[in-house]
Amino acid sequence: MDTLLNVVDVEATCWDGQPPAGAVSEIIEIGLTVVDLATRERVSKHRILVRPRRSRVSEFCTELTGLTQAEVDTGVEFAEACRLLTGEHRADSRPWASWGDYDRNQFQRQAKATGTRYPFSGRHTNVKLRFTEARGLKRRPGMHTALDIAGLPLEGRHHSGADDAWNIAALVLGLVESGDWVQPV
| pLDDT greater than 60 at residue 1 | no
pLDDT digits (tens, 9 = 90+) for 129-177: 999 999 999 999 999 999 999 999 999 999 999 999 999 999 999 999 9
Compute the half-sphere exposure of residue 9: CA atoms within 13 Å on the CB side of its CA. 23
* Contact by Cβ (8 Å): 45, 76: no
* Contact by Cβ (8 Å): 91, 116: no
Mean pLDDT of the chain: 96
* Contact by Cβ (8 Å): 28, 12: yes
Neighbours of 45 (CB within 10 A): 17
Domain coordinates in residue numbering, the chain:
4-178
CA angle, residues 7, 83, 53, in degrees to nearest 5: 95
pLDDT tier at 2 (50, 70, 90 boundaries)?
confident
CATH code for 4-178? 3.30.420.10
pLDDT for the residue 185: 67
pTM equals: 0.96
If you write DSSP's letter for every residue of 24-88 in order, what string do you get?
A: ---EEEEEEEEEETTTTEEEEEEEEEB--SS----HHHHHHH---HHHHTTSB-HHHHHHHHHHH
